[in-house]
Amino acid sequence: MELQRKDVGIVAMDIYFPPTCVLQESMEAYDGVSKGKYTIGLGQDCMAFCTELEDVISMSLTVVTSLLENYHIDPRDIGRLEVGTETVIDKSKSIKTWLMQIFEKCGNSDIEGVDSTNACYGGTAALLNCINWVESSSWDGRYGLVVSTDSAVYAEGPARPTGGAAAIAMLIGPNAPIALEGKFRGSHMAHVYDFYKPNLASEYPVVDGRLSQTCYLMALDFCYRRYCSKYEKFEGKQFSLSDADYFVFHSPYNKLVQKSFARLYFNDFLRNSSSIDKGAREILEPFSSLTGDESYQSRDLEKISQQVAKHLYDTKVQPTTLVPKQVGNMYTASLYAALASVLHDKDGTLGGQRIVMFSYGSGLASTMFSFRLQDGQHPFSLSNIASVMNISEKLKARHVFPPEKFVETMKLMEHRYGAKDFVTAKDTSLLPPGTFYLTEVDSMYRRYYTQKKGAEDANGGESITSGNHSLANGHK
């Protein structure tokens, strides 16, 4: 049988972030930094974090279960499952294998794929793998499923306010409303020590903040030029910012996104693109002779290019920023949370539009690629995806913790990282119904998770154990 595989991409999406967060404004006061440093300087509003009840595994269990239920997908219809993460809980056992509990109980253990890790890039590696699988001769007609899940936590200091946590699940298949434009892709991969996690006894990274910013912007330049040249090769005309409706960036914090879009604008100016108007051209002219290195160090260029690009930023980037500003850096989920933001913001008006994506993972791995959007058929329509993700309600339902409580939680998590033989708090009142949570890590480091019962589920929650899976209560 000939399988149809046109317009392969994201067919459906769901997002989960912890219901616990801290306001950046209150973190400024608590940390004793100048007012505005985190909210204006970094451009962040709020930061989500996992309490002892949640981690990257529980968030993945929650979001995958929710996606399958919300779009009425039979777990037997998943043929490949890939997880992107940089939050290492086990150096051997993949998060994908924990997720298999959802599928095994339906008799489906025939699912390829494991985890991909390279800082914030793992989700993109997983996405491209799954799309390639659907487009390959190995495809058996079933869906792929990509999960990006991370808890971004930093030691006390300047990087701490750039944390966050979330999991995103994306169903992959043909006739997708968010279809990958496979030919237009530019990557840049290199060896650098900008952000890395060499200390296996700690969840915190070693970060060279300044270097990571420069590496990000350099990678962006390389990827944009390569994306443009592929576009020009296949389309026979120059690409410029005017050829895409939205630009979605990996978002460690919003200020870097503002700088990144300005950098693309400067690239268009250097490439002599017709999209740059005469006034902006004259303003940027004095910077045209800077070397690459000089241009990354020039504060004047940074400021002026942000000013001349501001009108385009407001239409092409600002609608992608809601979740990253409210939740913080979600590492592998960050880019896809920004995509979710524009689907939410432009609900029902995106058909026919192009979205350019920039994925960056320190170390480093980076790719620019693009999606072409189409309205899609229910339940896989763009408007239903926005309604399933229900971002406004999820943001509204969160519980704001004072900074003291956040710091106390970070201390407990430091102590628990890599630990065994403990049980977690019994109080799950802050978790929404249907959320999975950690109950225990036993003397063999096996982790036990339970699902908080839903409003409609009067029979009690569902237990998922870490060993040979056993599901205590039936699941619809």
Interacting span for ligand ACO (CB under 6 A) from 100-108, 251-259, 274-282, 311-319: 251-259
Asked if residue 195 binds ligand ACO (CB under 6 A), the reply is yes
# binding residues, ligand ACO (CB under 6 A): 22
Active site residue 120: yes
Apex 216 CA angle, 214 and 222, nearest 5: 100
DSSP codes, 39-83: IIIS---EEE---TT--HHHHHHHHHHHHHHHTT--GGGEEEEEE
Active site residue 104: no
- What is the CB neighbour count within 10 angstroms for residue 307? 11
DSSP codes, 200-231: TT-SPPEE-HHHHHHHHHHHHHHHHHHHHHHH
Asked if residue 209 binds ligand ACO (CB under 6 A), the reply is yes
Question: Which of 34, 274, 291, 443 is the binder for ligand ACO (CB under 6 A)?
Answer: 34
Listed in sequence order, the residues at least 6 apart from 15 whose beta carbon sits closer than 8 Å to its beta carbon are 63, 166, 167, 168, 169, 323, 333, 336, 337, 340, 389, 391, 394
Please choose, from the candidates 95, 88, 89, the residue with its C-alpha nearest in 3D space to the C-alpha of residue 64.
Answer: 95
Q: How far is the CB of 321 from ligand ACO (least distance, A)?
A: 15
Active site residue 21: no
Cβ proximity to ligand ACO: between 32 and 236 the closer is 32
Tokens (6 digits) for 37: 């440093």
Residues in 320-349 that interact with ligand ACO by CB under 6 A = 329
SS3 content of the chain, % helix, strand, coil (to 5): 40, 20, 40
Asked if residue 403 binds ligand ACO (CB under 6 A), the reply is no
Q: How far is the CB of 405 from ligand ACO (least distance, A)?
A: 21
Interacting span for ligand ACO (CB under 6 A) from 83-91, 211-219, 233-241, 375-383: 211-219
Asked if residue 366 binds ligand ACO (CB under 6 A), the reply is no
Cβ proximity to ligand ACO: between 209 and 379 the closer is 209
Cβ proximity to ligand ACO: between 12 and 120 the closer is 120
Numbered residues of the known binding site: 212, 255, 259
Asked if residue 362 binds ligand ACO (CB under 6 A), the reply is yes
Q: Which residues bind ligand ACO (CB under 6 A)?
A: 34-37, 40-42, 120, 158-159, 162, 195, 207, 209, 212-213, 216, 252, 255-256, 329, 362
